[in-house]
């Protein structure tokens, strides 16, 4: 990461035009390619009162302090929940004579700064809300930030705010990118690190917020508001799960806050909700009043195995592996090479849902371990991954390849002159990925030590954002594969997949070279894993 958080910079880009022509474009100044505030490297976790209180009077200082206390006393802080956030209706309907927002004295008799101090004293972080419009969303709401961006950002920073949710109501038809960029800049100008949550609901465009949000915010709502029922919740999941290519460290898709514990869904449905949010790398903002919920709610919210799927530092949102008749398989690549897989039953009857380790990109081994992240049962399989899943239920597994696997990053390999180590497409492991020249013969070459001679599976993690295959010949110690290995399009440069093949390696030093056989060059290469079969 650059040492600068928010700087603009002059951008010189070589643009490859569709016709194969190249043009050098210099524009100035341009925002950095991602909102480089160093925040939300994993999806934010915390609390927001909206789903449980809306604007009712029980949204007040006692409640917010109570939640902060429970975060500590019930181990939620230890499980990773950090942000304690206020939603709409915390302020009075009028600004004061200085033009500042005024905390509602009935709800917050000691103001917001003292509440933020309290939350901070617990080792937690504090968040607030306003709208990119003239007024917030609720009829009992308060004046929004449109045209007041810097004053409001300054006020929030002076109170110690660490997170801002910026809503979309009463926006007067002003262009969304313009409104949300204005607040980004205002937050930047305060000098305080503030997670910036764009709440535009995926409403306007094209371009849609997921297409322009990366340099603007740390997360963006992809849907309208969630309600505490199955149909609403699964609808949000369905809309959000096709957007994997847009998510990554510092810039997340947000299918809205959690309803777990609010009482409108069954425990099975709430486990599905939590499982799908986790596998989709969604923010985990608890939306129930933890002072009143039952133990089942804590059991769901504190499932650290499931939280680890959400918080996995590689930051790749799951993609849909298969979907048929309401039986949906989601797969997510994890930082250590394991996969998370969700077998999700959207129908009203029990069904068997299955996939394979190979379909998850984990092929090439004779044995895999499956850990059920809800029942905690562990079993092994030769590759089939299948379960009987109740109506509206989800079975969530962590899948590991048996045997030993060693990873060799592409950026640490040797490669054709002209190759660059890039990081502009998220989801890569290590420090970046190798981007070779678009030419036949472009290669990346790894040196791999083996203790013993024998068969090994080579796993190449790659992205190909074109729709044209980028085949490569794979040579182990100078002996090329009989045919070129296919590296077909992955759908986007930020969608990574694996290709594998089995070779014989010798004891000692082995040289593995992947060489492009067509004029597109190699796909972007993230790493090579060498696994015992």
| Catalytic sites, residue numbers | 167, 225
Site string for ligand GLA, 8-47 (x = CB under 6 A): ----------------------------------------
Q: Is residue 88 a contact point for ligand GLA (CB under 6 A)?
A: yes
One residue of 39, 63, 64, 137 binding ligand GLA per CB under 6 A? 137
Residue 151 touches ligand GLA, criterion: CB under 6 A: no
Segment contacting ligand GLA (CB under 6 A): 22-30, 35-43, 136-144, 478-486?
136-144
Is the CB of 81 or the CB of 90 nearer to ligand GLA? 90
Residue 411 as a binder of ligand GLA (CB under 6 A): the answer is no
How would you class 138 by CB atoms within 10 Å of its CB: exposed for 0-12, middle for 13-18, buried for 19 or more?
middle
Give the nearest distance from C-beta 174 to ligand GLA in angstroms. Answer: 17
- Gap between the Cα atoms of 111 and 116, Å rounded: 9
List the one residue out of 184, 90, 207 whose CA is nearest residue 132. 184
What backbone torsions phi and psi does residue 210 show, to the nearest 5 degrees? Answer: -70, -15
- The values of phi and psi at residue 58, to 5°, are -75, 0
Backbone angles phi, psi at 26, to 5 degrees: -115, 120
Q: How far is the CB of 140 from ligand GLA (least distance, A)?
A: 9
Q: Identify residues 180-199 at the interface with ligand GLA (CB under 6 A).
A: 199
Q: Please, what is the Cα angle at 273 between 267 and 276, to 5 degrees?
A: 135
Q: Does 87 bind ligand GLA (CB under 6 A)?
A: yes
Residue 58 in contact with ligand GLA, rule: CB under 6 A? no
Q: Which is nearer to ligand GLA, 222 or 532 (CB)?
A: 222
Say if CB 416 and CB 436 are below 8 A apart.
yes
Sole window of 27-35, 135-143, 461-469, 495-503 interacting with ligand GLA (rule: CB under 6 A)? 135-143
Cβ closer to ligand GLA: 31 or 202?
202
What's the sign of the alpha-carbon dihedral 296, 297, 303, 304?
A: negative
138 binds ligand GLA per the rule CB under 6 A = yes
**Residue 89 CB, nearest approach to ligand GLA (Å):** 7
- Between 87 and 269, whose beta carbon lies closer to ligand GLA? 87
Are 275 and 237 within 8 A, CB to CB? no
* Listed residue (354, 261, 253) closest to 310, CA to CA: 253
Q: Which of residues 188 and 273 has its CB atom nearest to ligand GLA in the complex?
A: 273
Residue 412's Cβ-count burial label (10 Å; 0-12, 13-18, 19+) is middle
Kindly state whether residue 50 participates in binding ligand GLA, applying the rule CB under 6 A. Answer: yes
Q: Note whether 158 binds ligand GLA by CB under 6 A.
A: no
Distances (CA, A) of 396 to 393, 400, 463: 10, 13, 26
Q: Is 200 in the site for ligand GLA (CB under 6 A)?
A: no
Question: What count of other Cβ atoms lies within 10 Å of the Cβ of residue 532?
Answer: 18
232 binds ligand GLA (CB under 6 A): no
C-beta of residue 127 within 8 angstroms of C-beta of residue 161: yes
Name the 3-class secondary structure at 357. Answer: coil
Nearer to ligand GLA, 220 or 496 (CB): 220
CB nearer to ligand GLA: pick between 287 and 471 = 287
Closest distance to ligand GLA from the beta carbon of 421 (Å): 40
Q: Does 328 bind ligand GLA (CB under 6 A)?
A: no
Token duo for residue 294: 């039952």
Q: Determine if 338 is a binding residue for ligand GLA (CB under 6 A).
A: no
Report the distance separating Cα 429 and Cα 407, nearest Å.
10
Given a contact cutoff of 8 angstroms between Cβ atoms, the answer to whether 179 and 171 are in contact is yes
Task: Determine if 259 is a binding residue for ligand GLA (CB under 6 A).
Answer: no
Binding mask 202-231 for ligand GLA (x = CB under 6 A): -----------------------x------
Using CB under 6 A as the binding criterion, the count of chain residues that bind ligand GLA stands at: 10
- Contact status: 135 vs ligand GLA (CB under 6 A): no
Q: Coil, strand or helix: which one is 216?
A: coil
Alpha helices per DSSP H over 202-355: 209-212, 230-240, 267-279, 295-301, 304-310
What are the residue ranges of helices labelled H in 38-94?
50-53, 61-73, 76-79
CB of 170 to ligand GLA, least distance (A): 11
Q: Is 265 in the site for ligand GLA (CB under 6 A)?
A: no
Question: What does residue 235 show for φ and ψ, rounded to 5 degrees?
Answer: -65, -40
The reply to whether 286 sits near ligand GLA by the rule CB under 6 A is no
Nearer to ligand GLA by Cβ, of 213 and 331: the residue is: 213
Q: Which residues bind ligand GLA (CB under 6 A)?
A: 50, 87-88, 136-138, 141, 167, 199, 225
């Amino acid at each position: 990461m650059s040492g600068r958080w928010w700087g603009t910079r002059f951008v010189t880009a070589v643009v490859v035009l569709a016709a194969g022509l190249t043009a050098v474009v210099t524009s100035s100044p341009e925002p950095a390619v991602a909102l480089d505030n160093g925040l939300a490297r994993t999806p934010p976790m915390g609390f927001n009162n909206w789903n449980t209180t809306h604007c009712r009077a029980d949204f007040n200082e006692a409640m917010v302090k109570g939640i902060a206390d429970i975060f500590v006393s019930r181990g939620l802080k230890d499980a990773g929940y950090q942000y304690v956030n206020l939603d709409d209706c915390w302020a009075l309907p009028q600004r004061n004579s200085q033009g500042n927002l005024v905390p509602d004295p009935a709800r917050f008799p000691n103001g917001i700064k003292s509440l933020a101090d309290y939350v901070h004293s617990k080792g937690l972080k504090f968040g607030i809300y306003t709208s990119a419009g003239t007024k917030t969303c609720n009829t009992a709401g308060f004046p929004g930030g449109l045209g007041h961006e810097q004053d409001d950002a300054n006020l929030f920073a002076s109170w110690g705010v660490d997170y801002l949710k910026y809503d979309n109501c009463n926006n007067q038809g002003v262009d969304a990118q313009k409104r949300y960029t204005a607040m980004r800049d205002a937050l930047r100008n305060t000098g305080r690190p503030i997670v910036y949550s764009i709440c535009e609901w995926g409403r306007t465009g094209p371009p849609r917020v997921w297409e322009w949000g990366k340099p603007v915010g740390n997360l963006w709502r992809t849907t309208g508001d969630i309600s505490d029922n199955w149909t609403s919740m699964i609808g949000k999941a369905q809309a959000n799960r096709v957007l994997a290519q847009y998510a990554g460290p510092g810039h997340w898709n947000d299918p809205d806050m959690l309803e777990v514990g609010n009482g409108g869904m069954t425990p099975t449905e709430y486990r599905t909700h939590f499982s799908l949010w986790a596998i989709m790398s969604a923010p985990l903002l608890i939306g129930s009043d933890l002072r009143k919920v039952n133990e089942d709610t804590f059991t769901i919210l504190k499932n650290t195995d499931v939280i680890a799927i959400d918080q996995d530092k590689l930051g790749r949102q799951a993609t849909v592996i298969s979907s048929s008749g309401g039986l949906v398989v989601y797969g997510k690549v994890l930082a250590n090479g394991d996969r998370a897989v969700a077998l999700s039953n959207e129908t009203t009857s029990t069904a068997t849902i299955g996939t394979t380790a190979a379909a998850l990109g984990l092929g090439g081994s004779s044995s895999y371990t499956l850990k059920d992240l809800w029942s905690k049962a562990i079993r092994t399989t030769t590759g089939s991954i299948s379960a009987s899943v109740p109506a509206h239920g989800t079975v969530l597994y962590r899948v590991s390849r048996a045997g030993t696997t060693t990873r060799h990053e592409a950026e640490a390999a040797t490669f054709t002159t002209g190759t660059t180590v890039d990081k502009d497409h998220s989801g890569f492991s290590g420090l970046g990925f190798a981007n070779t020249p678009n030419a036949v013969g472009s290669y990346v070459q790894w040196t791999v030590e083996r203790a013993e001679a024998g068969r090994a599976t080579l796993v190449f993690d790659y992205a190909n954002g074109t729709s044209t295959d980028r085949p490569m010949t794979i040579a182990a110690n100078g002996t090329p594969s009989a045919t070129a290995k296919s590296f077909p399009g992955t759908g986007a440069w930020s969608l990574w997949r694996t290709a594998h093949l089995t070779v014989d390696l010798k004891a000692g030093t082995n040289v593995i070279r992947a060489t492009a056989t067509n004029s597109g060059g190699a796909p972007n290469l993230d790493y090579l894993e060498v696994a015992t079969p």
